[in-house]
Amino acid sequence: MAMMKTTLVPAFAFAVLAAAALPVQALDAVAASALARKGACIACQTANNKMVRPAYKDIAKKYAGEANAPAYLAKKIRSGGSGVWGSVPMPPQASLSDAEIGTLVEWVLAGAPAK
C-alpha cells in the first residue's frame, strides 16, 4: 500500500489566498481602515501621499499583477522590516490575526480605497 504525503499549510496562507480571490467590490474599506488604525499603520502611511513610509497607492502599483504579492505582503506586515522602501523600518504587526492581515493586504493592494 502506497503512503500519501501530507503537506501542512499555515493558516495565514489560506486567509491571504482567500482575500486575494475576493473581488475588490467585496472589500470592507471601513474594517480595513480600522485595522490600519489599530496597528498604528496610519502613523507612517497614507493612501495617496508618502509620509515616513510609502503611500498605499504606490505599494499597490508596485505589486500590481504579481501573483505572490498577497503572501509576500502578509509576511511583511506580520514580521515588519526595512530595505524595500528605504531604511525606515516598518514595525511588525504580530498582534493582528491572519484574517486581519489578509484584510489589510487586500485593502493595500486595492490602493487603500476610502470608506
Give pLDDT tens digits for 51-82. Answer: 899 999 999 999 999 999 999 999 999 999 88
11-21 helix and 98-109 helix, angle to the nearest 10 degrees: 30
Query: Domain 27-109 is classified in which CATH homologous superfamily?
Result: Cytochrome c-like domain (1.10.760.10)
In this prediction the pTM is 0.72
| Residue-level pLDDT at 16 | 46
Nearest-Å Rg of the Cα atoms of the chain is 15
Measure the CA–CA gap between 95 and 114, rounded to whole angstroms.
Answer: 24
The alpha carbon of residue 67 and the mean position of all alpha carbons in its chain are separated, in whole angstroms, by: 13
Cell digits for 72?
509576500
**Of 33-42, 54-63, 100-109, minimum mean pLDDT range:** 33-42
The residue among 41 and 25 whose pLDDT is bigger is 41
